[in-house]
Chains A and B, each alone.
Chain A
Amino acid sequence: MTNSAEQVAALPMKPKTRPGGWARRALKRRATIVIFGVLAAVACVTLLPFYWMFSSSLRTMDNMFAIPIQWIPHPLNWMSYANAWQAQDFARYFFNSAVVAVAITLGNLLLCSLAGYSLTKFHYRGRGLLFLLILSTMMLPLEITMVPLFLIIKQLDWANSYQGLIVPFLVDGFGVFLMRQYMLSIPKDLIDSARIDGASELRIFWMIIMPLCKPALVALAVFTFREAWDMYIWPLIIITKDSQRTLPLGISLFMSSYGTSWDQLMAIAVLGTLPMILLFFFLQRAFIQGIAATGLKE
């Protein structure tokens, strides 16, 4: 639409400066349409599982594998949500997941900022080495260290506890990296003048540095929350008590015990995705910035 309008508007401006301008523009417009088509097709592939999850949560079991495909479920089966919710203690799992994800997120916001602040605005021996050490943890996936880590948690008697799920993840190499990169841009003068005004170091950090880092903090928060909400292998290892299960554990357990009640499974899947979808829609920029930041380089 806009393209043709632009074309018409541009016509009298440059009548014969570029021979073949029309053809080129037509080609360009066709390219735009093709690209739009390609992206729309890709979007269908990325959205299909979401739609299928949601629509199947409302489908009756009789229609679950109906042929021809029933794109809009009929009759609607709202009971699947109530049934699934009552089949296991999902309220508890949601609560546990929320506690763990919020605690991990808050811990990362504080500790990663403190570490980033230390690495950018203070001079001491071994600073560069410390930074490298922290960075190197990004190459150490949990899957490599989980066996000894489990033994440590067992020794601390933290199995089946919130501490066991939270404390090992209170800080993360990527988070420190993100905060450090952001804080590099904060001028040192700002800190020095606050010092002259007699502000204590902690006060400077809390009242000046943290507010300045708000965009980075929001991005880090969303990123960390998503990862924590997603966590599966670690709770699987250290949680055996039902009352301590997180949502992913509850869902996978539900899958193994109610494997063919697809309507209920999809209902729980919808509920488990909902917090992430809400987070994405309200904090879309931060959500994407956090991920884009994993591509930052020095």
Chain B
Amino acid sequence: MSSKAYLVSPTRRRRRRFGLASKQAAFGYAIILPTLAILAVFRFYPMVEAFYLSLTQYDLVHPPKFIGLANFIDLLHDPLFLKSARVSIAYVVFSVVPVIPLSLGLAVLFNRNLLFKNILRSAVFMPVVMPAVVMAVVWTFMYQQDGVVNTLLDMLGIAPIPWLRSSASALWAVILIGIWRATPYYMVIFLAGLQAIPADYYDAAKIDGANAWETFWHITLPLLKPTMLLVVVMNVIVALKVFAVPMIMTGGGPADSTRVLPLFIYQTAFEFFDMGRAAAMSVFLFVGVMLFSFIQVRIFSRGEELR
């Protein structure tokens, strides 16, 4: 009612340059301006600048020198970079793949009535609460040769593992922590997705005599697909940018086995002051983020067409 009343008289004025509507539009522009300004200066411009820098040689002392694609060609022939890219891909694959079924499984288990449900859920959620740097410090301690992880393994009759000391196990140690932290995070998102599924669907399935497994496979999973896509994409991006844990726990070692791309970019830029090369690596990382996301969207949308 009130909106109608308002519309009656000023309709004509709306078309005028400084009419009510354009005044409001101006206010609309004005309040989004600070956001746009900050994003333009601190997100978009650096992105463009990263592309430019990647074509230069720049050591912070001398002015940037344009060298074309030399950084990229160089990187593709640099065994250290290729190794770092492989480590990053391994980290992404082996931390994302287990997290999806684990977090979804936990969400499904929590999506029902249970004794002490709230306490259990809070307990499982706790890794999200621990700051990344603290996590790195605590797990470094736990991963010591005679630390608690090996002691517990010993109780189970498993020989001690030289977690962070060996290039064979260091990446796995880092991946395990990534899983430890990411699983509860995505469990929360899956839980929200599960709770958004109308109960009618389940009631209908029950009437049709579907068992728990059939219900999950034919109702829950298809309806959860958008959530699933989001979780995979987010998870991949988070995994691609992992930094604090390898930086603090191993510094990239031993034998470069945990030097993920962000860590290598950091070292190239801020330890060797090779800004151009670091920017070129960033471009590769950017392409990686885009490629992974694109592939996932394609995979999921293809499934959509099939159904």
| Contact assessment for B138 and A69 in the assembled complex, using a CB-CB cutoff below 8 Å | no
| A116-169, CB < 8 A from B | 117-119, 121-124, 127, 130, 133-134, 137, 139-152, 167-169
- Please determine whether B134 and A273 come into contact, CB atoms closer than 8 angstroms: yes
Contacts of B34 in A (CB 8 A): 111, 114, 171
Contacts of A237 in B (CB 8 A): 266, 270
Residues on B with beta carbons closer than 8 Å to the beta carbon of A36: 114-116, 120
Contact among B38, B50, B142, B147 for A168, CB-based, below 8 A: B38
Decide yes or no whether B223 CB sits under 8 A from chain A. Answer: no
Residues of A within 8 A of B44 (CB): 133, 137
Q: Scoring A residues 182 to 215 as 1 if CB is less than 8 Å from chain B, else 0, what string do you get?
A: 0000001100110110000100010000000000
Contact indicator per residue, chain A 232-250, by CB within 8 Å of chain B (1) or not (0) = 1100110000000001100
Check A4 for interface membership: any CB of B closer than 8 A: no
CB–CB A294/B189 < 8 A: yes
Decide if A95 is an interface residue (CB 8 Å cutoff): no
Contact B2 A193 (CB under 8 A): yes
- A277 to B: closest C-beta gap in Å: 6
Distance between B65 CB and nearest chain A CB, rounded to angstroms = 15
Are B141 and A122 closer than 8 Å at their CB atoms?
A: no
Give the complex CA separation of A53 and B21 in angstroms: 59
Closest to B34 in A: A111
Q: Which one of A151, A170, A279 contacts B49 once the chains associate, using CB atoms below 8 Å?
A: A151
A39: min CB distance to chain B, Å: 5
Give the complex CA separation of A284 and B130 in angstroms. Answer: 14
B2 near A272 (CB under 8 angstroms)? no
**B141 pairs with A189, CB closer than 8 A:** no
Q: Is B109's CB within 8 Å of the partner chain A?
A: yes
Name the A residues within 8 Å of B184 (CB-CB).
46
- Interface residue from A32, A144, A168, A195 paired with B114 (Cβ < 8 Å): A32
When distances are taken between beta carbons in the complex, the residues of chain A under 8 Å from B190 are 295
Does B42 lie within 8 Å of A273, measured CB to CB? Answer: no
B29's nearest neighbour on chain A, judged by CB, is A124
CB-CB under 8 A for A141 and B244, given A42-B124, A255-B140, A272-B131: no
Compute how far the CA of A154 lies from the CA of B114 in the bound complex, rounded to whole angstroms. Answer: 55
- Asked whether, in the complex, the Cβ of A150 is within 8 Å of the Cβ of B39, the reply is no
Q: Is the CB–CB distance between B193 and A144 below 8 Å?
A: no
Interface secondary structure of B, over-half rule: helix
| A65 contacts chain B at the CB level, 8 A cutoff | yes
Contacts of A140 in B (CB 8 A): 43, 47, 286
CB-CB contacts below 8 Å: A43-60 with B: 43, 45-50, 52-53, 56
**A192 CB contacts on chain B under 8 angstroms:** 2-3, 6
Main secondary structure of the interface of A (DSSP, over half): helix
Which residues of B are found within 8 Å of A39, using beta-carbon distances? Answer: 106, 109-110, 114, 120, 124
* Chain B 210-229 residues near chain A, CB threshold 8 A: 226-227
B241–A143 contact, CB under 8 A? yes
Tell me the complex Cα distance, A265–B127, Å. Answer: 18
Bound Cα distance from A133 to B35, whole angstroms: 11
Give the chain B neighbours of A151 by CB distance below 8 A: 49, 53, 275
Q: Considering the complex, which residues of chain A in the window 77-135 have a beta carbon less than 8 Å from any beta carbon of chain B? A: 111-112, 114-115, 117-119, 121-124, 127, 130, 133-134
> Could you say which interface size class chain B belongs to?
35 or more
Contact B230 A115 (CB under 8 A): no
Task: Give A102 to B195 CA distance when docked, in angstroms.
Answer: 32
The answer to whether A61 has its CB under 8 Å from any CB of chain B is: no
Interface residues, chain B, CB within 8 Å of chain A? 1-3, 5-6, 21, 24-25, 27-29, 31-32, 34-36, 38-39, 41-47, 49-50, 53, 106, 109-110, 112, 114-116, 120, 122-142, 144, 146-148, 151-152, 180, 184-185, 188-193, 226-227, 230-231, 234, 237, 240-241, 243-244, 247-248, 261-262, 265-266, 269-270, 275, 278-279, 282, 285-286, 289-290, 293
14 further contact pairs, Cβ within 8 A, besides A46-B124, A171-B38, A276-B129:
A32-B114, A39-B124, A47-B126, A115-B31, A118-B28, A124-B29, A134-B39, A142-B241, A143-B262, A146-B282, A151-B53, A171-B34, A233-B262, A276-B131
Q: Which A residues fall within an 8 A CB radius of B?
A: 1, 32, 35-36, 38-40, 42-43, 45-50, 52-53, 56, 65, 67, 69, 111-112, 114-115, 117-119, 121-124, 127, 130, 133-134, 137, 139-152, 167-171, 173, 176, 188-189, 192-193, 195-196, 201, 205, 226, 229-230, 232-233, 236-237, 247-248, 251-252, 255, 262, 265-266, 269, 272-273, 276-277, 279-280, 284, 287-288, 291-292, 294-295, 297
Q: Can you give 18 A-B contacts (C-beta < 8 A)?
A: A47-B126, A50-B126, A56-B141, A121-B28, A127-B28, A139-B289, A144-B50, A144-B285, A146-B266, A148-B46, A148-B279, A151-B275, A188-B3, A232-B133, A232-B247, A276-B129, A292-B189, A297-B230
